[in-house]
Amino acid sequence: MLDAPGKLPQTRAMTVETQKTALITGASRGLGAALAEALAPTHHIIAVGRTTGALEELDDRIQAAGGSATLAPLDVTDKGAMAHLCRSIFDRWGNLDLWAHTAIYGPALMPTSDLDDKGWTRAWTTNVEATRVLIHMVNALMTDESTALFFHDDHAGEPFFAGYGASKAAQMALVRSWAAENARIGPRVVIAEPKPLATAMRSRFFPGENRAPLAAPADEAARILTDLAI
């Protein structure tokens, strides 16, 4: 966990200060964890997630492969904690080479007329408001050569997907505006479209689905990073 202001948690294998840095928000599991592992040979990973145990398991895998990570067990909707983290990143490394944002919330599927305040508020706060706040904070940590990576998952207008579909569409609108604004000056802002993934969130959306045809997060992480030359 984070210590006093201006300090990052100690890792069991400290990074070389000249190594590239990658901030992964939503790194506990799924595509975020897979991206962290895929990037670890070339980047020091700053892994943000709500589940401490899952982050520690990720750290074990990264270290076993010879990499290093800093763990930040935080909720991306906690504005103060994320501001503290970003300031700590600046104090220690100065800037980020990569930010991959995979933190997402999918409320239960239901008729639009039944969408309750709790599910809608959490979806909007996580998928839209946290993205807006993080763009503001992380932008200050990025250079013209840095990359910000987001992920398209379009369910807007589909039956029963009102909460997820609307909030995810709003997130993409924010990101596309940021990308257009930075097209000539950097940082590079890109949106990848993963294949349907065998993740816990998808299993909640589609219980009983045959998961055999679904892509493994590790495979998609490798493909996306290769396609984007990261």
What is the per-residue pLDDT across 91-149, written as a single tens digit (0 to 9) for each?
Answer: 999 999 999 999 999 999 999 999 999 999 999 999 999 999 999 999 999 999 999 99
Q: Is residue 118 part of a domain?
A: yes
Q: Which pLDDT belongs to residue 180?
A: 97
Q: Is residue 5 part of a domain?
A: no
What integer is the mean pLDDT of 27-50? 97
pTM, 2 dp = 0.90
pLDDT digits (tens, 9 = 90+) for 197-214: 888 888 888 888 899 999
N- to C-terminal Cα separation, the chain: 28
Q: Which pLDDT belongs to residue 4?
A: 34
| CATH number, position 215 | 3.40.50.720
pLDDT digits (tens, 9 = 90+) for 76-105: 999 999 999 999 999 999 999 999 999 999
Q: Which pLDDT belongs to residue 200?
A: 87
Q: Is residue 8 part of a domain?
A: no
Q: Is residue 209 part of a domain?
A: yes
Q: Which pLDDT belongs to residue 2?
A: 43
Q: Which pLDDT belongs to residue 17?
A: 57
Q: Is residue 4 part of a domain?
A: no
Overall domain count for the chain: 1
pLDDT digits (tens, 9 = 90+) for 69-83: 999 999 999 999 999
Q: Is residue 156 part of a domain?
A: yes
Q: List the domain range (segments joined by +) for residue 53.
A: 20-227
C-alpha distances (whole Å) from 65 to each of 45, 60, 127 are: 13, 9, 32
Q: Is residue 122 part of a domain?
A: yes
